[in-house]
């Protein structure tokens, strides 16, 4: 355990100071400084594990920290590294790191890493910060299949593009691999997703997704009617069409994603399309 106060000189003239459980940052930060903070958090977390589990926890923690660091590099222009000085951010990262260390390879490292980086976004809002922090706490409680299902729902029900049908088909073809497992999601697990705060379920709800798309997300395609839109999609976008058909067959109008569920879906889809603007859905 670190003592009451430790100081580390980092690259670029910045200083990271550990005081109790908080890390305070002076001046500007670099990715190298962030690495120092992660190491401090590692040393804070390890005492929570028994001796025999500590080595595995350290390996898992290091793997997770490396993934976060890589994503920080990818989004260097859109994040504020100084947010690592925020005690709330530190606590959120600590929770995620400990969960990752416990679950090891069964945890969804990419989704968690994307959420942590999003928590440090320069365009964040207080509400979005709360949602992202909660999503970080929820992800370790979900299986990869459950995350895939949430992503499948989100991609069909909540994503829209002012693009041509072939362009939209290209997007769905790209993300289809991360949705496949969700298509086999057992519906007796919906109660768990609801309990975890990812969604609400109303079995009496219903709707016509092609009608919704024709009025809203695909209005620019000028299909004229839901029936025409369905024929256009089925003819020119078989992957997109098959996902919509699965949505209909599973009666997913009974499900509504919460903001936390949306954040988890976005974090997973971000593994394929980095840099998605969470603010479009969570403002």
pLDDT at 6: 40
- State phi, psi for 82 to the nearest 5 degrees: -65, -15
Query: What are the domain boundaries of the chain?
Result: 5-141, 144-280
Q: Residues 6 or more apart from 93 whose CB is under 8 A from it?
A: 38, 41, 84, 116
Rounded-to-integer distance, Cα 76 and Cα 64, Å: 18
pLDDT digits (tens, 9 = 90+) for 101-136: 666 655 678 898 899 999 989 888 999 999 999 999
Q: Residues 6 or more apart from 191 whose CB is under 8 A from it?
A: 201
Which portions of the chain are predicted below pLDDT 50?
1-26
Q: And the tokens for 198?
A: 């990812």
In degrees, rounded to 5, the angle at the alpha carbon of residue 236 between the alpha carbons of residues 232 and 241 is 75
pLDDT at 103: 66
């Amino acid at each position: 355990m670190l003592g009451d106060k430790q100081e580390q000189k980092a690259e670029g003239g910045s200083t990271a100071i550990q005081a109790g459980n908080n890390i305070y940052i002076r001046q500007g930060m670099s990715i190298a400084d962030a690495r120092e903070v992660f190491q401090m958090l590692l040393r804070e977390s390890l005492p929570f594990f028994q001796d025999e589990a500590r080595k595995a926890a350290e390996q898992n923690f290091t793997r997770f920290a490396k993934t976060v660091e890589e994503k920080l590099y990818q989004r260097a222009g859109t994040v504020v590294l100084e947010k690592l000085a925020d005690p709330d951010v530190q606590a959120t990262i600590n929770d995620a790191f400990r969960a990752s260390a416990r679950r090891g390879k069964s945890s969804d490292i990419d989704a968690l890493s994307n959420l942590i980086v999003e928590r440090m976004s320069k365009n964040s809002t207080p509400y979005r910060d709360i949602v992202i922090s909660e999503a970080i706490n929820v992800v370790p409680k979900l299986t990869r299949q459950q995350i895939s299902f949430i992503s499948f729902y989100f991609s069909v029900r909540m994503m829209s593009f002012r693009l041509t049908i072939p362009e939209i088909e290209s997007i769905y073809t790209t993300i289809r691999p991360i949705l496949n497992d969700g298509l086999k999601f057992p519906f007796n697990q919906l109660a768990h997703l609801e309990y975890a705060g990812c969604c609400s379920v109303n079995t009496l709800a219903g709707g016509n997704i092609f009608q919704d798309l024709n009025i809203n997300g695909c209005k620019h395609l000028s299909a004229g009617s839901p029936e025409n839109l369905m024929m256009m999609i089925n003819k020119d976008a078989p992957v997109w069409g098959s996902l919509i058909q699965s949505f209909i067959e599973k009666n997913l109008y009974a499900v509504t994603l919460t903001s936390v569920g949306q954040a988890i879906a976005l974090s997973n889809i971000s593994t394929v399309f980095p840099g998605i603007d969470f603010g479009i859905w969570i403002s």
